Structures are given as C-alpha cells and as structure tokens.
Amino acid sequence: MSCAPFSDAPGSLDAAATAALLPWSALADEIAALLWDSTVSVPARSVLPLAQGGSLFVMPATDRSVAMTKLITFTPGNAGTGRPSIQGDVVVFDIATGERRLVLDGPTVTARRTAAVSLLAARHLAPVPQGPLLIVGAGVQGRAHAEAFVVGLGVQEVWIASRSAASAEALAAQVHALGAQARVVADTDAALPHCPLVATCTPAQAVVLSATPRSDAFIAAVGAFTPTMVELAPALCQHVALHGTIVVDTGDAGHEAGDLLQAGLDVATMPMLRNAVCGPWTHGTRAGKGPVLFKSCGWAGWDLAAARLAMRRAAAEPPMPAAAERVPA
C-alpha cells in the first residue's frame, strides 16, 4: 500500500492515507480483538482546558508491541468556520525498538475509530441491523457513521437531520455515492419511529432527540463526552433504562456520559461494550427486550486499536486471528 506523507517526516500520513489504513470492517474487528487482549494498558486521559472553551487531550495506550499517544485539541468554537473542531496527531511507536513508526492524522483516527466502535456495538446489540439509519448531525462524525453503517452493516437507507441544510444535502450525496438511499428530514423525533438504527453525532450543546424510541431501536450516542454535554433528553434515557438496555463503551462513562448523568442514572452499574463482545452475556437485548442505547464517550484503547491496524497494514503483515480462535483474558 502506498501512503503519501503530508510532510517530509517518515511515516507521517495525511487524512486520506490514514483512512486508507483503517477500513471499516477491519477496524471494527481490531477493536473487538483489543477487548480480548490482556496486555492492553490504557491510563486515564489528561484533559487540559484551553482559553475560549477548548481542550487539549493527551491519550496514551500500549500493548505488548505498540505504544501510542493521541495528542489533539478540541475547539467547539470552530463549528461553522471551516476549521475542524478536532485537530492533532496520533504518534505510534514500536516497543521493541523504541522507533516512531507512524504519525497518523488525529481527526481521521478519531472519526473512524468512533464510528467503528458504534459499528461493532451495532453488530452485537442492534435488533434490526439492516436499518433504516437516522443520522443526527451531518459533520465529521455524522459522515463517518453513515459510511461505517452502510459499508460495515449493509444499511441501504439513511435519514439525515442537521441544523445545516447544506451539510445534510452534502451527506446525502455521499450516501448516494456509496450506493444507498438518503433523505433529509427536519424533525428528528418524527423520523424516530421509522428508523431502528440511530446515531447522534452532534456537538452535544443541546438535546436533539426527545421522542420515545421504537422497541427494537438501537441508538448510538457519541457526541457528549463530559458531564455537561447532552444530546438525548433525560426522559428518553430513563425510558431505555426502564424498558430496554443501556450499554456504555467503557467504565470511564461513569464520569463522562452527560446524557446519562443528567438523566440521573447509575452509570457505574451499566454493562460495557466488552461484556457484549467478549460475553457470554444474556442482558435484556440478547433476549430481544426493548430498545438499546449505546453511549460512547471515547477511550484511548480505541485509538490503540486503530494504531495496531495501521501498523500491520502499513507493514503488510497478516491480519489478527478471528475472535473464535482467541482465549478471553
């Protein structure tokens, strides 16, 4: 595989080259593999507040052979300016030699690993994985989730809601280019009864989904990753907690999942994605009982999975063994 660097530094990849190393299904498989790997170490991420509401994120992680750190800025004020809200890099090292092997485009890794985590969760938890899919928010994450679900799940119809009509139409065109149908909708709550798959991918500055979801709904909420951020109405979260199942990406959601915390729910008692992937797990959704809410807040382990896959594909090494061939940690 030929990957064009964005600079003269060896292994420094631009957005397109980074994306080429992280195809959707392979990335979801790598995330699943990481959840079985007992050598993975992920310390708590450091978040430093910046002026004007921004944040600096420092997110390291390692396994037996790879060490990586994601260093990115999150600048909400960039929304609508043409500048990305997330900027930075993922630096990947070979533990055996200490050499820096790759510098991946940070926003691309963030977008693709977040959508791939949702894809993996949908594979295991969605009662109706074929869709239609409702995407709320037509920015970077909305585009990534639409592509991941069309390519990785075979979704053939995508409904799109966005504050920006131009962004919604642009995403619809991208969905059409993938070979799926797309429609732009103005009312997310009115669309909810028609869509068993939902992904909320907004800046999480206000509630964007309030209606009661279908009994066979799968909702991936990825926008809110601090206690003050929110996309889902508290009543919606409380309904799913009572009548269905809420699954969080990691234990860090206990202090980060604004949607759930503002709904007054005990996040610490909720099952994690690891429970669904590594099982056996017989929680409500496995028996087909009620809607499923997957709350994703982000974790450096997901970035490590992307780094592992990128390293292997860049070196043209053989893929990871299937999950059935591994022994759980």
Residues 32 and 125 in one domain: no
Of residues 242 and 322, more confidently modeled: 242
CB 216 within 8 A of CB 121: no
Residues 93 and 235 in one domain: no
Q: What is the mean pLDDT of the chain?
A: 90
- For residue 2, being part of any structural domain is answered with no
Tokens 């309030």, residue?
210
- Residues 157-187: tens digit of each pLDDT: 999 999 999 999 999 999 999 999 999 999 9
Residues 217 and 282 in one domain: yes
Distance CA 181, CA 187 (A): 18
User: Residue 1: is its pLDDT beyond 90?
Assistant: no
Average pLDDT of the residues in 39-50: 94
Could you tell me which residues are beta bridge partners of residue 157? 181
Residues 284 and 242 in one domain: yes
Give residue 326's pLDDT band: very low, low, confident or very high (50, 70, 90): very low
- For residue 130, being part of any structural domain is answered with yes
- Residues 208-242: tens digit of each pLDDT: 999 999 999 999 999 999 999 999 999 999 999 99
Residues 64 and 185 in one domain: no
Residues 28 and 171 in one domain: no
Residues 104 and 120 in one domain: no
- Residues 53-102: tens digit of each pLDDT: 889 999 999 999 999 999 999 888 887 787 888 899 999 999 999 999 99
Instruction: Output the pLDDT for position 83.
Output: 84
Residues 150 and 255 in one domain: yes
- For residue 231, being part of any structural domain is answered with yes
CB 200 within 8 A of CB 225: no
- For residue 136, being part of any structural domain is answered with yes
- Residues 14-42: tens digit of each pLDDT: 999 999 999 999 999 999 999 999 999 99
Domain that holds residue 241: 115-299
- For residue 234, being part of any structural domain is answered with yes
> For residue 101, what is the domain's CATH number?
3.30.1780.10
* Burial track 70-106 (b if 16+ CB lie within 10 A, e otherwise): bebbbbeeebeeeebbbbbbbbbbeeeeeeebbbbbb
- Residues 303-320: tens digit of each pLDDT: 999 999 999 999 875 445
Residues 79 and 27 in one domain: yes
Distance CA 314, CA 161 (A): 36
Residues 89 and 201 in one domain: no
Instruction: Output the pLDDT for position 202.
Output: 94
- For residue 72, being part of any structural domain is answered with yes
Number of domains in the chain: 2
Report the sign of the C-alpha dihedral through residues 275, 278, 280, 284, in that order: positive
Average pLDDT of the residues in 253-277: 95
CB 250 within 8 A of CB 211: no
CB 102 within 8 A of CB 11: yes
User: Residue 325: is its pLDDT beyond 50?
Assistant: no
- Residues 108-165: tens digit of each pLDDT: 999 999 999 999 999 999 999 999 999 999 999 999 999 999 999 999 999 999 999 9
Of residues 10 and 223, more confidently modeled: 223
- Which residues touch 219 (CB under 8 Å, ≥6 apart)? 198, 199, 200, 209, 213, 232, 240, 291, 292, 293, 294
> For residue 222, what is the domain's CATH number?
3.40.50.720
- For residue 327, being part of any structural domain is answered with no
Residues 149 and 207 in one domain: yes
Average pLDDT of the residues in 202-212: 94
Instruction: Output the pLDDT for position 10.
Output: 58
Instruction: Output the pLDDT for position 295.
Output: 98
